[in-house]
Structure 1
């Protein structure tokens, strides 16, 4: 179980002349700091999105066969579970235990998603939880929607992200030979699993044109999966309610949960990051929790961790914002605009947490 509370960290200053001790509770957001734009990344994302939009046009106008449609959806799903179940709930937070075969499958699916190697993905996410919504958070939501959604990948990392990221405990992943193998050979594995195979199958088996297959099965699928993950960093940190802990920036978002197979119940997840459900409920817009339970049934996953009902209840009563679908108060829920499916989907545009000390 990962710690998320304040913890003392130390890092080497940029000038290498002295050591400074940084208290996590004192790391906030310096709104005067200007991130440096990395223009090659900007250009890369523009090109990526142009091809993805081209693929979307082909996808919605019937430019591919029915079997390619099915294949694209299937590959997108595998990649999504590789991120939600694999990178997030297992390798980052260790919310359950997995057999070697399960680990290999999840690593393969995460490589298919193409969102960097498992080691770096988990390091960045552990850093995000340790210093959530501060300058030490890679995608600090207090920098605005665009920055925390995708802009953080177009800017040079804040010095805190670089230095404190080196102190994140990654010994469990360093001891996993599969993770380190993927890290070492990530780029050839990415070319094979994320680009070549998704494109080749429709061409070879379904008679699809290779260019259409590339645009739809790689570019469109890849960009869609990226934005799904990014929605957790942006929407699920800015627009919603905080029924479990009003002191945490993350919120509950049914929309993000639909797009990401259950990752949008983010206020709960930051309150109980070691819970395999990443939500209070496993059977409500939370397919990844169902998938983990399936892995348990077939013997690939075991020792699923979860917060007890008593623990959740105490947290709601002690720190919740009053919007909980069952335990909240009527006045607070009445002030929330509920859109979409029924409980617990209250969604609102509550203002972000108040800035402290002008920072």
Structure 2
């Protein structure tokens, strides 16, 4: 769902400040000719994504009609897959956001990483770990610019789902090539998942959730497919997308009023922790993604439990002194 992988991803990160906006450049490979400035031009529509997303959401709407006809166990299974044990939001927050893009904690046992992170991530069908993490790092470094894959300055629809309907802006690709992703390339779990992503994600996101109700308690394949796969997946996607859209447009900014990400309580409830988005962008290394720790933050509960069981370690947190100083310096005074 994130678009084609950028070439040259091994190029180390450059610490020098770079021009963020799209600009006219000269390239020796182009014979010294100026490259066209893409700013203001309409990007090419990816019709495949438009069709697939339209069909997916139409299927989700149709799934609502099937709810009264389904067995209660099927509805519980769909809930169990997406909210209780295999919560897509928890996978995205604990796995993608805290572990691989920012290394907010360290899951040191490979078997634990495979089970708790790699397997869970498959259910979300939001691209492989490498591609998601790379784009998430670009999003943080160049937030609300043309280099941001889902730039909220282009409106709610674009940041929510529209960015999937067009080709990536040139700046997203160019800036992504300059990030240091050698840690991802060296991670065997990341590379294994990337290699077998397509077949494994189809099995885990659609086949397994569909077959369990049909095989174990005799639900029809039709109901199983639409309720446990299509409806569940669509809800999961939209909850995750709200972090890109609503949490970048609506809410207060107690930690840094100069950036777009906000504290959005409604998104926090749905995305179980990611709604504390002004905090997350101000202190991206904090594994909790929130100043409030365990309060209204199941992701923190999950990571803390892993650490308590000895399955993860080295949790990183912003100190209270640092948080208070930052709020006093750049916050909007809302808390």
TM normalised by structure 2 equals 0.88
Residue 294 of structure 1 is matched in structure 2 by: 305
2 CA distance for matches of 1:93 and 1:118? 12
Q: Are 1:68 and 2:70 an aligned pair?
A: no
Residue 313 of structure 1 is matched in structure 2 by: 324
Residue 62 of structure 2 is matched in structure 1 by: 54
Matches within 5 A, 1:99-138: 99-105=109-115, 106-138=117-149
CA contact (8 A) 2:89 2:270 kept: no
Question: Aligned pair in 2 of structure 1 residues 280, 64: CA closer, same or farther (>3 Å)?
Answer: same
Residue 354 of structure 1 is matched in structure 2 by: none
In structure 2, the gaps of 5 or more residues are 1-12, 33-37
1 CA distance for matches of 2:27 and 2:250? 36
In structure 1, the gaps of 5 or more residues are 20-28, 325-359
- Any idea what SS the aligned residue of 1:301 has? coil
Cα root mean square deviation, aligned:
2.3
CA contact (8 A) 2:59 2:231 kept: yes
1 CA distance for matches of 2:16 and 2:234? 35
Bigger shift: residues 160-169 or 121-130: 160-169
TM normalised by structure 1 equals 0.82
CA contact (8 A) 1:95 1:276 kept: yes
Matches within 5 A, 1:254-293: 254-293=265-304
1 CA distance for matches of 2:242 and 2:286? 21
CA contact (8 A) 1:127 1:165 kept: yes
1 CA distance for matches of 2:28 and 2:334? 48
Alignment equivalent of 1:89, drawn from 98, 102, 109: 98
Residue 10 of structure 2 is matched in structure 1 by: none
Q: CA deviation at 1:9?
A: 7.6
Q: CA deviation at 1:93?
A: 1.0
Q: CA deviation at 1:124?
A: 0.8
Moved over 6 A (4+): 9-15
Residue 246 of structure 1 is matched in structure 2 by: 257
Q: CA deviation at 1:283?
A: 2.1
Aligned length: 310
2 CA distance for matches of 1:212 and 1:296? 39
